[in-house]
Amino acid sequence: MLEAEKADQYKENCIKKYDENVERYIFTYDKDYEGYPGNQKRFDIIRDLIRRHSPQRVLYIGCGACVPMALLIKEFGCEMFGIDFSKKMVEQGRKVLKEHGLNPELVQIGDIENMDTLPDGVFDFVIAVGVFTHLYDDNKAMSNLNKKLKNGGILVVEFRNELFSCYSFNTFSYDFILNTLLAGVDLPQEFGMKVDHFFKERFGILADEKIAPKSTYLKNGIIKKFHNPLNICEVIERWNFCWKENYFYHFHVLPPQFETVNPDLFKKLSLYIEDPTNWRGHIMASAFVSEAEKIQNI
C-alpha cells in the first residue's frame, strides 16, 4: 500500500510533471491531434452535462491550461472559476483566457485538498477532472467538494477505470486480479504458485518479478489511482451526494498492445464503439465521468 507520509512528495512529483507538459496538454484539444482524442471525448461529456443542467456558477478543478474552460464560458455564458495545482498550467491558462477575450484572473493556483485555496462562496456545478487519480486519500477532497456545492448542485468527477485492467492484459491486469479481485482468498502455497505462473505467463510478466498489491498505483513517483465504476457510488454517497450516472470515455476496441500494430485502424475502430453510456465502457474504456447531486449539508 502507499505510505501516507509520502503523499506530499507524490503530489510534488505530479505538479512537476504537469509543469513540464503544458504544451502537450493543450495539443490534445487541437483538431490536428493525431492521438486518441480522449480529452476531447471527456470534454464532450462535460459540455453535455452543463447543457442539461444550465448552471450559473461553476467551479472547474483541474482546469489545466483552460482550453475547455474558455470554450465552455463562451458557449454557455456561465460564471466559471478554475483552479489547478500546476503553476505553469495556470500561467498558460491565463494566456488562453486572454486570447478568448476573457478575464485571466478567472483561473488561480489551487489544491482540492486545501480548502483555503478554493474560490470563495458556493457553486451550483463543480467539475473535477484529472484530480482523483493523483490523490492519496479521496476523503479530504470529497469533503471540500461537499462544502463548495450548494444543495441540489451537480458534481462531475472524472476517474480512471479500474475494471479496464480486466481488458488491458498487462501488469495492471495481474495486479488487479491477484491483489484486488482475489484479495482475502487464501490459496495454498503450491496452488498459489501455479495461479501466479498462469497469470504472469498470459500477461507477459517475468516469472520471478514481484508485483506488490496496488504497486501499479505508482509510476515514476506519481500516484495514478483507479476507481471501480461498479462501486463508485459508495465513495460519492459517503459525502451526502446522490450518485446519478457514469459516462465512459477513451474506449479501446482491443487491448492497448494492438495499438502499435496498426495505430490508424485501432483509433478508427475504437472511435466507432466510443459511447459514454454503452455497457461495454465498464471494461473497454480506460476512464469515466461520474455525475452526482448534492443532497444536504454535512
Q: Domain 4-161+227-294: which topology?
A: Rossmann fold (3.40.50)
Q: How far apart are CA 214 and CA 98, in angstroms?
A: 42
pLDDT at position 2 is 54
Query: Interhelix angle for 87-99 vs 67-76, to 10°?
Result: 40
pLDDT digits (tens, 9 = 90+) for 225-256: 999 999 999 989 999 999 999 999 999 999 99
CB 194 within 8 A of CB 105: no
pLDDT at position 1 is 44
Q: How far apart are CA 233 and CA 197, in angstroms?
A: 35
Residue with cell 486480479: 177
Let me know the angle formed at the C-alpha of 221 by 139 and 146, rounded to the nearest 5 degrees.
15
- What are the DSSP E strand ranges found in the chain? 57-61, 79-84, 107-109, 123-128, 149-160, 218-219, 222-223, 241-251, 285-294
In sequence order, the 6+-apart residues with CB closer than 8 A to the CB of 177 are 165, 166, 199
* CATH 3.40.50.150 boundaries in the chain: 4-161+227-294
pLDDT at position 3 is 64
The pTM assigned to this predicted structure is 0.94
In sequence order, the 6+-apart residues with CB closer than 8 A to the CB of 260 are none
Collapsed DSSP state (helix, strand, coil) of residue 172? helix
pLDDT digits (tens, 9 = 90+) for 84-132: 999 999 999 999 999 999 999 999 999 999 999 999 999 999 999 999 9
Say if strands 241-251 and 218-219 run parallel, antiparallel, or are unpaired.
Answer: unpaired
Low-confidence stretches of the chain (pLDDT < 70) are 1-5, 297-298
CB 248 within 8 A of CB 159: no
In the chain, count H helices and then E strands. 12, 9
The DSSP line for 186-248 is ---HHHHHHHHHHHHHHTT--TT----TTGGGEETTEE---B-TTTHHHHHHTTTEEEEEEEE
Residue with cell 459511447: 275
Residue in 45, 97, 32, 89 with CA at minimum distance from that of residue 63: 89
